[in-house]
Amino acid sequence: MVAQMGVPMANVITLGIVVLVLGLFGYAMFVESQRMLRDDGRLRLRRMLARRRVHLAAEAAGNYESARATRRCLACPDKAQCDAWLASHRREGSEAFCPNASFIYHAARS
């Protein structure tokens, strides 16, 4: 009888873990969707490159790295910091927060 009671308890624990994981996943999806809904959709990469006198159209012609940089820019969690940096008209300092800092640096040097 003791062995039989262990199996249902294991099922309950497993079910609890599955529900917890699915709940955490659902919460993460909710948070991400809220961040995306608040996004204004502007591509800041173009302005970041222009600050270094690089034009995205010329840089992006069939370039896989440009496509990756565009996706990183769209998914960036630091857009408010980017907007503040762009408003400051500085040329340096974006390396601290921009996920495309390396791409921008190499595009400006080529």
- The 10s digit of each residue's pLDDT in 4-24 is 556 788 888 999 999 999 999
Is the pLDDT at 59 greater than 60, yes or no? Answer: no
pTM score over 0.85: no
The mean of the pLDDT values for the chain is 83
Q: What mean pLDDT do residues 35-64 have?
A: 75
Determine whether 98 is exposed, middle or buried from the number of CB atoms within 10 Å of its CB (0-12, 13-18, 19+).
buried
Is the pLDDT at 25 greater than 90, yes or no? Answer: yes
